[in-house]
A and B are shown apart, each in its own frame.
Chain A
Amino acid sequence: MKNKYPRFIAPTIRLGLLVLALAVPTANAAFCSLRDPISAIQTLFDEDNQFRSVVTDVTHEDREQLKQLLPFTIHQSEVAKHTLYVVYNGETPQGFLQARSEWAKWGLVEIAWGMNLDRSVKGFYFQRCRSPQCNDSVVASISKALKGKNFSELKGLLSEDGNALSATGEAAFPIAPNLALLTLHSALKTLAITDISWQHEIQNITQRD
C-alpha cells in the first residue's frame, strides 16, 4: 500500500520531539545577526570615543530584583546574555550604552540608551521603531524631558501602577504620550537592570574614576 504521507514527515517529527526533550530556553536569532550599536554611540557620545563590550547574564534573580524597584519588570525572554557598552575617551570612561527592546502594539521597538557615569540619562536613540511617529521632532521632545534625569526622577514621571504617566509626566510629554510612556518604561528598566546586572563592573569603573 502506498504511504500517503511524504517520507520526511516521520523523521522531522522525531527530531522535533528530541530537541523539545533537550529544551533549554535560548535566543532565536543567530549570533551573526548581532550588531554593535555603532550609530547610537557615534550620535550620543563623541564620534571619536571608543567602546568596550561587557557581556553578562541577566538572570531570573535580576528580573525579580527589578520587580522590587518598579511595578513591572523585563520580559521572561530577556533573561539571557546582554551587552553593556562602556564608552571611553582614551583611557577615561565617559559613560555607558545599552540597547533594550520594548513591545509596542505594532511590534518590537529597540532603543539604545546612553548613560552618564552616575547612570543619569545622557540620551536615547531609536535603533528600530517601525512607526512613522518615531521621527526627529518627537524624539527631540521626549529627549528634552528625559535628559539628565536619574532613576528616581524618571520614576516620578510615571503613575504609581506604572501603566500611565503621572501628572508631572503628562506635563513633561506634550506630544506622543503613548510613545513617551513606552520610552519611559524602557529608560527605567535600562537604568535599573544596568545597576543590578553589571553592578560589579560599574563599581570598578566608578571607583577607578
Chain B
Amino acid sequence: MRFTLALNYFILAIGAYLISFFVQAASQTSGSWIDSSRWTIDASARGSRNTDTEKNAQTYALGLDFHKVFSDDSHDIGTLTFQPYLVKISNVARPPFTFDDGDDTELTWRIANFNYTALAQGKFNIRLGHFEIPYGLEYAEDTNGTLRQLTASDRGIKADWGISLNGILPYLEYEVALTRGSGNEIKSTDNPHVFSGRIGSPSHRNLITGISWFKGDVLTRNGVVERERYGFDVSYFYYQWQFMLESSLGETQGNDTSHSFAEIAWMSPQEHWKSYLQLVYQDIDVEQRNDFASYWIFGLRWQNDDGFDLSAQFKHDLNSASTIETAPDLSLQVRYRL
C-alpha cells in the first residue's frame, strides 16, 4: 500500500510539472499559477449503517479542489482540474478494490485532468487525465463526494483515466472517451478498457435529453468484468422541481441486463435544502432465469452559503436478488469546503 501511495504521489508530481511546463511554454503571458485559479480544501465524514446486519462503516475524506484556466493574450488554452483526496475507510464490508480491505487509507482521484480548449472555441476540446465517464445523467450532474449518486454503480465505474473529445455546439453537447477501465489507478491487469460517450441536447434548457453508450472491460477486485450498455436519459426542470429518468439495455459478462432509474427532486427557493426520491430497477438473465432487484432511496441535504453541508440518505430494498448487489442503508455525511 505504501508503494502504491508513493507511486501515486510521484505520478501527481510529474503530471503537475509536465502540464505546467507545456502550458507555460505555450502561453505568451507568463502569469503565475495563482492567476485565473481557484482552490479550496474539501473535508467530509460519512457514516453508513447496514440496516439488515446492523453493521456501521465510516469514510473520512480530505482533499484539494484546484481549478485553473490557462490563457494567452487573446484566448484560453485549457483548463486544469485537480482533485486528489486522501480517503480513510473503516469497517467497510465491500470496499472499492482501490482499498486493500475495509480498514485502509488511500490517495484517490476524483477528477484530475487537463481539457485543451484552444482548438475551436469550445466546440472541439481534448481532455486528458482522470475524468467522469461520459454516460447518462451522471454527465450533467455533479455528484462527486455527495451521498446522492445516480447510475454509475450499474456500470461499475464512475471516473477513469484516459482521453476524450468533447465540446458544445449550438444544438448539442457531446463527449466521447477512451479510458483505461481501471477507475482510480492506472492498472494494466487483464488489460481493461472502456469506450463510452454521450450526445445530448443543450444543458441550459429545461428539457434535456441524451443518448449514451458504454462498452468495455472494467477492472474489479476479482479481475475484469465485460460490460456493455446503451441508454437514454431525460431531465426536466419545472420551477423548484427536477425530474430525471435514465434507462439502459446491455450485457454483463454476456448476460442480458436492463437498468432503469427515476428521480424526483425538490429544492427550496434559496437552494439551502434539497430532497430527492429515487427509484431503481435492474434485472439480469443468468443461467436461463431472470433475477431482478429494485429499491428506493430518499435523501435530504442542507447547505449554507459558507460551504457547510449536511446530508442524510435512506435506501430501502423492494426486491433483492442473489446476483445483484443491493443493501438497505442509512447514511449521514457532514462536509465542509474550507
What residues make up the interface of A, taking CB atoms closer than 8 Å to B?
6-9, 11-13, 15-16, 19-20, 22-36, 38-39, 41-43, 47-55, 75-77, 81, 83, 88, 90-91, 103-108, 126-132
Contacts and interface: CB of A to CB of B under 8 A. Distances in A.
Interface in B133-182: 142, 144-145, 168, 170
A15 B334 contact: yes
B121 A42 contact: yes
Nearest to B333: A12
A38 B65 contact: no
B196 to A, nearest CB: 17
A34 B35 CA distance: 17
Nearest to B40: A26
Best-surrounded residue of B56, B334, B336 (most CB of chain A within 10 A)? B336
A31 B75 contact: no
Contacts of A50: 74-76, 121
Nearest to B81: A32
B204 A53 contact: no
Given A32-B110, A50-B121, A107 B145 contact: no
Interface residues of B, number: 66
Contacts, number: 180
A176 B172 CA distance: 29
B145 A30 contact: yes
B26 to A, nearest CB: 14
Q: Which one of B44, B74, B76, B79 has the highest number of Cβ atoms from chain A below 10 Å of its Cβ?
A: B74
Given A20-B336, A31-B65, A51-B76, A26 B307 contact: yes
Nearest to B309: A28
Nearest to B170: A42
A126 B203 CA distance: 11
A6 B307 contact: no
Q: Can you list the 4 inter-chain pairs with the closest CB atoms, starting with the nearest?
A: A8-B47, A31-B67, A19-B336, A38-B122
B76 A52 contact: yes
